[in-house]
Every structure is written in C-alpha cells, then in structure tokens.
Amino acid sequence: MKTKTHEIDNIKIVEISSEQNIINNVEDGLNLLGNIYYQGFDKIIIHQKNIIPDFFELKNRMAGEILQKFSTYRIQLAIVGDFSIYKSKSLEDFIFESNKGNQVNFVSSTTEALKK
C-alpha cells in the first residue's frame, strides 16, 4: 500500500493506492479508518480499483457499515473511479445523494477529490 500526503489550507489529506484491494471486507475498512485517524489525517482518497466490487452492491450493507464509521469519526472520504460500470439504480441514487454532502464523495479524478 502506498500513501501520498496532500495538504490544502492546513487540512491533511492522504491518498491511498495499491496494486491490490485494500478494502475486502468491513474489517479492512475499519482498520484503514483507524490507522488514518490516528495518523492525524482529516480526509482520505481511495481508488475504486482498491475496493472489492461487493462494496458497491448495496444489498450486502458493507458500504453502509464502513461509511457510517467514517461519518462517526468525521473523516471525509473520496472514492475515485468510474462508477458507470455498476448498473444499479440504488447505487446511482446513493452516489447522487452522497455527492450532495461533503462526508463521502464519489468522484472521477484525484484532482476533483482534492477540490471536495
């Protein structure tokens, strides 16, 4: 796993990438959150390719459990990727509603994530 630190207006943002999945289950998501939280980062950028596809299948509640913890700890999350590959109306609605706020955003580029 590689990390890259960005700092904008005294806000510490970590961009995480890997050649492998970083989040394979709820526990992985919570471990990532804990590690980043205790390192003092305010925001996390992670790439869609590093999250198991099941995360984007809302019926299994994995995304809900993980994203609720991010919200509880007030760590903002941006997921970078192409979400058009998922043909789920409920996921499309979830992404639309998430992007109205600033806690969890689904964006198409790291540049867009940094602007959020």
What structural domains does the chain harbor? 2-115 (3.30.750)
State both tokens at 54.
Answer: 């099941």
- Taking only the tens place, the pLDDT of each residue in 53-111 is 999 999 999 999 999 999 998 999 999 999 999 989 999 999 999 999 989 999 999 99
First to last CA, the chain: 23
| DSSP secondary structure letters along 61-116 | -HHHHHHHHHHHTT-EEEEES-GGG---HHHHHHHHHHHHSSSEEEESSHHHHHH-
Q: Above 90 in pLDDT, residue 116?
A: no
Q: What is the pLDDT of residue 112?
A: 95
CA distance 45 to 3: 10
Q: What is the pLDDT of residue 87?
A: 87
CA distance 67 to 77: 8
- Taking only the tens place, the pLDDT of each residue in 9-53 is 999 999 999 999 999 999 999 999 999 999 999 999 999 999 999
Note the pTM of the prediction, 2 decimals: 0.93
